[in-house]
Amino acid sequence: MGLRQMLPVQMNRMVFIGEARGKLRLPPGIVNGEFDRRLHLGATDEKLPPNIANRMQGLDDFQVVVERGPGLHTLSVPLVTMGANFGRRLVIVRGRDGCLALLSPVGLTPDLHRQVSALGEIRLLIVPTDFHDGGVAAARRQMEGAALLVSDGLMKLPGAMPLPTSLPGELAAELLSIPIGGQPSVNETVFLHSATGLLLVSDLIFNFDHRWRGWSRLLFRIAGAYGGPKVSRLFRSCIRDRAAFRESINAIPWSKVTGIVPSHGDCLFSATERVERMLKAI
Ligand SMILES: [Fe+2]
């Protein structure tokens, strides 16, 4: 394989360097999932470099809590991976008892923590994929009364309990969980939020449109994650059992899906049929 063929492959492996710390054996300070200045992961009181802040402010929920429907809010925080502005979206789900579950949690600034706490008591922290351990330690310290439910590969995290297929009673009616099979190094679970019909995904779908420029655009393009909703090359390359993967995609009740809320990029509130077709064609 020549250099031109190897470069995209190697770049794709590195694109998730911020999220796949454990797998890539990065230094312990990063593996622990603490806030890391090089990654700018998590909301921070420190002033963000203007190039990061300017670009991520295109996300409509960047560092502000936005209501997406009854009992569902989102909030995006900075995440810079290899110099590209990936950002990370937290999803806040209100359960039947009024308590909250945070999906893909990170430590929050006091102001953001106040905004989230104003919605209800934070009872559950849910890490839906092995790639989203970054920020969990800081979230636990800040929201120490909350239980931590994690994907299969993250059971090594202190205090972690397995994310069950049937969610605890207070969330069972709000979220239908669909584990994505066939990817033993990812173990992502996606959720259908029943009140809104929004499909909550972590890395299954990225949605970076054409407004992203410069280095971020180049990296997203190399990752196969640029120009609208996409399944990245790395995510595809993690599939080890295609039949199990397809079975999971088919288990998503697509007729009820009204939109997609990804962890990275913009939310998508139309043309979900295109995403369904794309996933079913893998
Ligand atoms: Fe991610």
Set out the domains of the chain in order of their start, with CATH numbers: 3-280 (3.60.15.10)
pLDDT classification of 47: cutoffs 50, 70, 90 = low
- Given a contact cutoff of 8 angstroms between Cβ atoms, the answer to whether 125 and 136 are in contact is yes
Beta-strand ranges (E) seen in the chain are 66-69, 72-77, 80-81, 84-85, 88-94, 100-103, 122-127, 147-150, 160-162, 175-179, 189-193, 198-200, 206-208, 228-230, 259-261
- Given a contact cutoff of 8 angstroms between Cβ atoms, the answer to whether 105 and 226 are in contact is no
Biggest distance spanned by C-alpha atoms of the chain: 58
pLDDT classification of 46: cutoffs 50, 70, 90 = low
Q: Which of the pair, 85 or 76, is modelled with greater confidence? A: 76
Q: Which of the pair, 38 or 193, is modelled with greater confidence? A: 193
pLDDT at 165: 86
CA of 203 to the centre of ligand 1 (A): 5
Strands 122-127 and 228-230 turn out to be unpaired
pLDDT at 19: 55
pLDDT at 244: 98
Kindly calculate the radius of gyration of the chain based on its CA atoms and give it in whole angstroms. 17
pLDDT at 83: 74
CA of 21 to the centre of ligand 1 (A): 12
CA of 126 to the centre of ligand 1 (A): 14
CA dihedral (23, 28, 29, 31) in degrees, to 10, reads 30
CA of 146 to the centre of ligand 1 (A): 22
Average the pLDDT over each of 195-199, 219-223, 248-252, 262-266 and give the range with the smallest value. Answer: 219-223
Mean pLDDT of 60-79: 92
CA distance 103 to 91: 5
- Residue 190 in this model has a pLDDT that exceeds 80: yes
Q: Which of the pair, 235 or 211, is modelled with greater confidence? A: 235
Q: What is the DSSP letter of 142?
A: H
Task: Give the whole-number percent of the chain exceeding pLDDT 90.
Answer: 60
CA of 206 to the centre of ligand 1 (A): 9
Mean pLDDT of 156-175: 91
- Residue 24 in this model has a pLDDT that exceeds 50: no
- Determine the residue type at 271: A
CA of 51 to the centre of ligand 1 (A): 21
pLDDT at 276: 97
CA of 201 to the centre of ligand 1 (A): 9
- Given a contact cutoff of 8 angstroms between Cβ atoms, the answer to whether 219 and 83 are in contact is yes
- Given a contact cutoff of 8 angstroms between Cβ atoms, the answer to whether 78 and 43 are in contact is yes
pLDDT at 38: 46
* Sign of torsion over alpha carbons 198, 125, 110, 263: negative
CA of 87 to the centre of ligand 1 (A): 9
CA of 263 to the centre of ligand 1 (A): 6
pLDDT at 170: 83
CA of 264 to the centre of ligand 1 (A): 6
CA of 132 to the centre of ligand 1 (A): 6
CA of 88 to the centre of ligand 1 (A): 7
Q: Which of 221, 195, 218 is nearest to 206 (CA)?
A: 221
Mean pLDDT of 82-94: 88
- Given a contact cutoff of 8 angstroms between Cβ atoms, the answer to whether 155 and 215 are in contact is no
CA of 166 to the centre of ligand 1 (A): 23
Strands 147-150 and 122-127 turn out to be parallel
pLDDT at 7: 47
* Sign of torsion over alpha carbons 243, 244, 247, 252: negative
